[in-house]
Chain A
Amino acid sequence: MRETQAIIERVRRLSADLQQLELSIDPALSQLQPGQSVFAWVLENNTCSAYLREQWIPIAVQASTLVVELRPQQVYAPGQVVSLLAPVGRPVPLRAGLSRLLLIAEDEAPTPFLLLARRAVTAGIAVTLVLGGSATRYPLEQFPAEVEILRSDTEWKWPDQVETLNWADQVLVLAPPQAQNETYGSLYSTIGQLRHHDIPEGFVSGLYYQRLACGTGACQSCQVPGRGSDFLTCTHGPALDLKDIVFR
């Protein structure tokens, strides 16, 4: 991890719920992989800024440009200087020989899936995205046209659910922080029933994005109870194999 500075070059209001910031970054950050994020602190902000750093999730990474997508709770302006601690977290582990990827977002903007879906499509992987709850309001033109989009109902069902879950080589699920335990536990149980409790290692992972205090693993506030040992979402995550998680 290293601390670098970036400059906000462009602010784009995507919808009432989302804004995108384009940042000029240190080229070292161009190595960020899907799943990894940056821990940001605005140095010149005339608005009331948060005390703690904020976790910004990249949706596009180029040589010296990083695009992140945020909720519009804070007002940002071009020219503002941002301190970035990065990388936070590990890349999303993809299974060997992956050819069919199922992404599920429930009540949370599927921002963390964007970079992953773009890279997966480029690599020839078939991607299906299931959106449920408030995630259905997300502007879908962000995703490549090759991504199949399905919508689930309020009871966590979508058309051809059984077929989709059996079709996939790997499943990644995203839920808001306050519902992760319940949502991921419920999905894991459903998949267990469909597959007669034969869930291979790394088959279904939950993305654990929580409010982080340190982002380095020091404070332990983002701990997720695991079987055997516990996990820290900032250093072991954000993608954690649900097979290893204790749902309580």
Chain B
Amino acid sequence: MIEITRTGKNPLVIDNPVMPAAGIFGYDGSAYSELIDLSKLGALVTNPITWRGRRVARGPRLVSLPAGVLVHTGLPNPGLPRVVEQYGTRWKRGLLPVIVHIVATTPEDVVRCADVLDRCDGVAAIELGLHDQSTPADVETMIGAVLDHTQLALLVRLPLYTAVGLARAASDAGAGALVVAAPPRGTARDPLTGVLAGGRLYGPWLKAQALRAVGQIAPIVEVPVIGSGGIHSPDDARDFLEAGAVAVQVDTLVWTQPHMLEVIARNLGGLELTRATGALADEWQPGMGQTMFQQRQNRPTLLDDDTAADPPDRLPE
């Protein structure tokens, strides 16, 4: 069992440190239930949901890139009340803890979402997706708004390029865990229409940047960090754990090779465990990162240095 949010009233405990990222898996996992053994996953993270329904973006939504893809869906969703009406029962009866991803649009809408989700039995936690332009003050406002209206554990997904700057603000504001990070935005020319399209970027290349961010953030915050970005193999996922993450979220790999999500989950879930060097069996648990391991052994870690913002030595620049 892995506690992936800070200890509190309703910590989120999962069996396996692997889960799909928001926007990848639908609302209840049924889209992949014939392709993946869902019971092997740690949790299910829903597609991003807003209080009011949103329709799909106009113009190009997908642009293939040499090593990835640009995605701009406009976050289509029927709105939280309709999603809960449609999927609430399935969440309750499902095999996995459900983490509902809500988009930090306005504090008012976020509060409405938190109110509804707090009363929904099938929801294990909330993941709050921050806007790319969020400031530390925005982060504090949004997190405060959610926590005032729910007892559920709150995960906060940080934008990649501002993750390090926002991490401490999110942690101090009460986030139960940090998801590092949301994919960055980019622009590419759509070959079909010939126009420039903006959207989020995915692909294996993203891992190096996300891994660096995890390595920078994990030592300076006192909440668990969940790594996300560019994971395409079990070794990729293990790199995130080594950098200090307690769990990982897998993104577009699920679209291209759905079975790989299960492969990674099985690998990290106990069938192919590797132990930190020197650890005894009772000192180690699946998902334990190097930072936690060192703490258990009372070794000095970067957590002891409040000002540390650089990546730990073991992550080469």
Contacts and interface: CB of A to CB of B under 8 A. Distances in A.
Interface of A: 1-3, 41, 48, 50-53, 83, 85, 176-178, 210-225, 230, 248
B62 A213 contact: yes
B286 interface: no
Main secondary structure of the interface of B (DSSP, over half): loop
B315 to A, nearest CB: 26
B203 A51 contact: yes
B68 interface: yes
Band of interface residues on B = 20 to 34
B259 A3 contact: yes
B56 A213 contact: no
B67 A51 contact: yes
Contact of B256 (A48, A51, A211, A223): A51
Contacts of A52: 62, 64, 69, 252, 255-256
Interface in B257-276: 257-259
A221 B61 contact: yes
Contacts of A212: 62
B255 A48 contact: no
7 contacts: A51-B256, A211-B192, A213-B62, A216-B26, A218-B24, A219-B47, A221-B73
Contacts of B25: 218
Interface in B16-54: 23-26, 31-32, 34-35, 47
Interface in B212-252: 252
Nearest to B27: A218
B35 A214 contact: no
A47 to B, nearest CB: 12
Contacts of A51: 64-65, 67-69, 203, 252, 256
A85 B256 CA distance: 10
B254 interface: yes
A211 B62 contact: yes
Nearest to A223: B56
A225 to B, nearest CB: 6
Contacts of B64: 50-52, 211
A48 B66 CA distance: 8
A1 B35 CA distance: 7
A41 B257 contact: yes
A34 to B, nearest CB: 22
A52 B66 CA distance: 10
A219 B32 contact: no
Interface in B183-212: 192-193, 203
B23 A219 contact: yes
A83 to B, nearest CB: 7
B290 interface: no
Nearest to A181: B58
Given A52-B256, A230-B55, A216 B61 contact: no
Nearest to A176: B192
Given A51-B64, A218-B31, A221-B73, 11 more contacts: A53-B255, A211-B61, A211-B192, A214-B24, A214-B255, A218-B25, A218-B26, A220-B76, A221-B61, A222-B61, A223-B56
B162 interface: no
Contact of B34 (A2, A41, A177, A214): A2
Q: Chain B CB within 10 Å — which of A2, A3, A52, A53 has the most?
A: A52
A55 B56 CA distance: 21
Given A51-B64, A218-B24, A225 B56 contact: yes
Given A51-B65, A177-B192, A221 B71 contact: yes
